[in-house]
Structure 1
């Protein structure tokens, strides 16, 4: 199957306009058919040994979202203390989640025991199943953007909060909690770039020919 130029251009448009959405969610419900398309896109991600180790927990209930939001707030307060005093206030001014506002939450897990102890491609790098699940999230993110739905990944939360709220067994690895919903607009730039927290790296500094070259010393905030 060949991809024509219009289809190619549409893919790149989706990639470049994808955003980590934390705010501006609308209360417009997402139709079941749209949710199904997004989940099917995730389910068609590449996976090591065709293991398909992912599961998706859909969260609609306000009480469940509120429990997860409380977990986020506790984790965010703890996280703020890790920044220097001059950056802490800026960090605390950011809105980094839309747990309650988004109509739909999706928790993505990885079953590392699926298909038994030996999986093609995991014999040397056993963490490949985790990476496969991240690929599923990326597919979901791009599919959501193609549906004009915002998606935000909430990483500032302890796994145990999600286990307790969503009855997730200890044997499953929690990869991410995602907030999905239609939004009033998509930002032209990623928010942290827009706010001056970090700039987009120059791709030329990140590409190496044949061997690694130490091109610059990276500075973290």
Structure 2
């Protein structure tokens, strides 16, 4: 049996620092990423845990101007609907938030979860089929941390219509959209999330319930 590695104190401290500096980036520089960076991050994402070792994540790189324009239009419609759902001060605050990096981010991709995948032979999914989507989220988080470790930011754009996105990206019907992501160098860095800086919401201590 091979023993696992022992991580020293300074590594663990840096790991905590990485967790704290993992921001949802909303403003990007147009600077291209180093060659091979995306492929490297995706390879690291693929070692994330997944139910039954199903690896159900499907990365769809979005490079064409036509697709990006359609996605921006989808976002603008959904964002207008979201703005209309708020009232008073919340509406004014929402209007100030920059909720997408769709115009600046040099790299953009969607992540889908493939519920029809045969990999994993269905292990662990019978009673909780949503673990397929949860597995895709684990891969996304692994990608996010790998990128942040190299000073590259990731922004999650969730104000989108999943059905319209599937049509734009010609996704198979058995694929479920998990998220759309902008990737690039942040135009500014903050240790505090923008939503906290703007007063939208504040991080709360963890709650643990014992039964």
Distance 2:65 2:31 in 1: 15
Moved more, 114-123 or 49-58: 114-123
Distance 1:66 1:29 in 2: 19
Asked whether the 8 Å contact 2:20–2:191 carries over to 1, the reply is no
Aligned length: 207
- Aligned-partner SS, 1:185: coil
Structure 2 residues without counterparts, runs of 5 or longer: none
Segments of 4+ moved more than 6 angstroms:
none
Asked whether the 8 Å contact 2:30–2:104 carries over to 1, the reply is yes
| Cα distance, 1:87 vs structure 2 | 1.3
Moved more, 50-59 or 77-86: 77-86
Asked whether the 8 Å contact 2:52–2:121 carries over to 1, the reply is no
Distance 2:110 2:127 in 1: 28
| Cα distance, 1:62 vs structure 2 | 3.1
Q: Residue by residue, what CA displacement relative to the aligned partner does 1:91-130 show, whole Å, maximum 9, x if unpaired?
A: 1221100012100001001110101795111122111111
| RMSD (Å), alpha carbons | 1.6
Distance 1:6 1:157 in 2: 41
Distance 1:32 1:163 in 2: 28
Distance 1:174 1:191 in 2: 25
1:29 correspondence with 2:50: no
What is residue 186 of structure 2 aligned with on the other side? Answer: 183
2:123 to 116, 120, 123: 120
What is residue 9 of structure 2 aligned with on the other side? Answer: 5
What is residue 114 of structure 2 aligned with on the other side? Answer: 111
- Aligned-partner SS, 2:110: strand
Moved more, 33-42 or 105-114: 33-42
What is residue 80 of structure 1 aligned with on the other side? Answer: 83
Asked whether the 8 Å contact 2:52–2:120 carries over to 1, the reply is no
Q: TM-score, normalised by structure 2?
A: 0.92
Structure 1 residues without counterparts, runs of 5 or longer: 212-221
1:16 to 14, 20, 32: 20
Asked whether the 8 Å contact 2:49–2:139 carries over to 1, the reply is yes
| Cα distance, 1:153 vs structure 2 | 0.3
What is residue 153 of structure 2 aligned with on the other side? Answer: 150
